[in-house]
């Protein structure tokens, strides 16, 4: 027999009360459990990095206390030609901490922060933190993530910014940064070993990307500056400079070619072909993380590949 309207209302009310009581028992009967749940559900710090290089470093320091968005993460894309979009703008507008490379590498970050009205985000400029400046009469090498002492400074700066955004976990961030720097020290030791064996030996490059690593390893870059600068800017290299560069390999004047595989073109391919024809080892490097690699694995592979090429 169907229930009366009044009986149905009574049943619904009773069920609602039971549900509320049940919820209260599950989350409020034990105050310490409720507090722990509230702490676990506290909002994560929103971090935006211009590339996945800094995104990965931030992840090692922030762990599960942060949410990271890396704007440039495609290993097949030339970062110098990246075009920012509205999704990037949205991510930056919500960020508490922003990590940019600086030095003209990713100027769109500053423009978007300004146009999006996010003045509260703490912005970390990696080049400024590194302390590197352009040499007198020369160009700044903005690829500071290949400089391990500079990356250690950047790690400390990230830990400090995260600690300001989430003071309850500041000691966690500091501890994680210290652990990360310990692994950077192991990379510096590998560079020192290369320097001990090969100091003063000549190499060639296609772009300035790896120079902090090669210089720390005691190696001398013999590539004409006009060549590497033109390649980095996407300009054509003059026939004269191209021939000077190719002669480094045909004349076996260098021990290795450290090649930016992320921005290859006809002139860099000629350089690579000349090195291979002369039996000179080629060490490919990139500007963003290769698929499936984290920063430390990537840099370990780079340093080991350089050492192996020079030992041949």
Where exactly are the structural domains of the chain?
45-185, 188-311
- Residue 253 CB neighbours (<10 A): 13
Question: Using the 8-state DSSP alphabet, how is residue 252 labeled?
Answer: T
- Cα distance between residue 255 and residue 241, in whole Å: 20
What's the CATH number of domain 188-311, 3.40.50.300, 3.40.50.1980, 3.90.280.10, 3.30.160.100?
A: 3.40.50.1980
Report pTM: 0.85
| DSSP structure string for 195-223 | HHHHTT-EEEESSSTTHHHHHHTT-EE-S
Per-residue pLDDT of the chain in tens (312 residues, 90 and over written 9):
444 444 333 333 343 333 333 333 333 333 333 334 444 556 899 999 999 999 999 999 999 999 999 999 887 776 767 888 889 999 999 999 999 999 999 999 998 998 877 788 999 999 999 999 999 888 899 999 999 999 999 999 999 999 999 999 999 999 999 999 999 999 999 999 999 999 999 999 999 999 999 999 999 999 999 999 999 988 999 999 999 999 999 999 999 999 999 888 999 999 999 999 999 999 999 999 998 999 999 999 999 999 999 998
Query: Is 45-185 CATH 3.40.50.1980?
Result: yes
Residue 215 and residue 84: Cα distance in Å, rounded? 33
């Amino acid at each position: 027999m169907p229930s009366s309207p009044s009986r149905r209302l009574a049943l619904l009310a009773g069920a609602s009360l039971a549900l509320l009581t049940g919820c209260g028992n599950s989350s409020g009967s034990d105050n310490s459990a409720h507090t722990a749940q509230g702490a676990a559900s506290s909002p994560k710090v929103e971090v935006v990095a211009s590339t996945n290089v800094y995104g990965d470093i931030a992840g090692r320091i922030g762990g599960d206390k942060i949410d990271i968005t890396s704007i440039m993460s495609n290993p097949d894309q030339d970062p110098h030609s990246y075009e920012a979009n509205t999704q990037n703008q949205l991510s930056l507008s919500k960020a508490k901490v922003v990590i940019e490379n600086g030095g003209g590498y990713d100027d769109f970050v500053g423009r978007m922060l300004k146009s999006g009205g996010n003045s509260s985000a703490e912005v970390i400029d990696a080049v400024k933190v590194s302390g590197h400046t352009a040499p007198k009469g020369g160009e700044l090498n903005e690829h500071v993530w290949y400089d391990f002492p500079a990356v250690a400074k950047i790690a400390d700066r990230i830990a400090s910014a995260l600690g300001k955004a989430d003071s309850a976990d500041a000691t966690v961030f500091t501890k994680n940064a210290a652990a990360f720097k310990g692994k950077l020290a192991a990379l510096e030791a590998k560079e020192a070993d290369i320097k001990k064996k090969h100091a003063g030996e000549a190499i060639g490059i296609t772009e300035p990307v790896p120079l902090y690593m090669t210089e720390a390893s005691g190696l001398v870059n013999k590539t004409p500056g006009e060549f590497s600068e033109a390649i980095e800017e996407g300009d054509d290299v003059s026939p004269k400079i191209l021939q000077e560069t190719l002669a480094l390999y045909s004349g076996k004047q260098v021990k290795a070619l450290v090649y930016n595989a992320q921005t290859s073109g006809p002139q860099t391919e000629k350089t690579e072909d000349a090195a291979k024809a002369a039996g000179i080892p080629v060490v490919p490097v990139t500007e963003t993380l290769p698929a499936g690699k984290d920063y430390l694995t990537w840099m370990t592979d780079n340093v080991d590949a350089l050492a192996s090429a020079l030992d041949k």
